[in-house]
Every structure is written in C-alpha cells, then in structure tokens.
C-alpha cells in the first residue's frame, strides 16, 4: 500500500519535472550550439536569475531532489 502511494507521488513529481523543463527551455542555450562550437554560449558566465526564472530553477532542483529521494525509498521497500 505504501509503495503504491509513493509511486503515485513520484509520477506527480515526474510530470512536474517535465513541465518545469518545458518552461525553462526558452532560457537555456541550445545543445546543438554547444556541439558545433557556437560563440554566443556563455556556459560558465556567472548570472543572477531573477523572478520567474529563479523560481523555475529552484523548483526544478527541489523536484529533482525529491524524485531521487522517493526513487531510493521505493527501491529500498
């Protein structure tokens, strides 16, 4: 019973991660630009996120951490 509840919660977190990654995609640099050596990539530039961008970054981090924790708990049960 507990395993099924945790599985339902992990599915909710996975959907949240997918939605957050779609919301973050316009702000990230493209992967293809990194492959071909585009000069407009600022991969190691220190930048401060503000507002919605900061919220999505931290929400993605927290959802990912909770997803990983729940996956480990389910595996141990």
Would you write out the chain's pLDDT as a tens digit for each of its 77 residues? 888 999 999 999 999 999 988 887 665 555 554 455 555 555 556 667 778 888 888 899 999 999 999 999 999 98
**Angstrom distance (rounded) from CA 34 to CA 49:** 21
Please give the model's pTM, rounded to 2 decimal places.
0.67
Region of 38 (left: φ > 0; alpha: ψ -120 to 50; beta: rest) is beta
The contacts of residue 59 (CB under 8 Å, 6+ apart) are: 16, 20
Domain boundaries, the chain: 2-27+46-76
DSSP, res 29: P
């Amino acid at each position: 019973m507990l395993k099924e509840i945790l599985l339902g919660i992990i599915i909710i977190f996975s959907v949240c991660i997918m939605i957050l990654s779609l919301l973050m995609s316009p702000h990230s640099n493209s992967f293809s630009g990194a492959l071909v050596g585009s000069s407009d990539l600022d991969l190691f530039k220190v930048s401060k996120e503000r507002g919605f961008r900061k919220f999505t970054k931290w929400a993605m981090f927290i959802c990912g951490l909770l997803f990983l924790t729940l996956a480990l708990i389910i595996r141990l049960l």
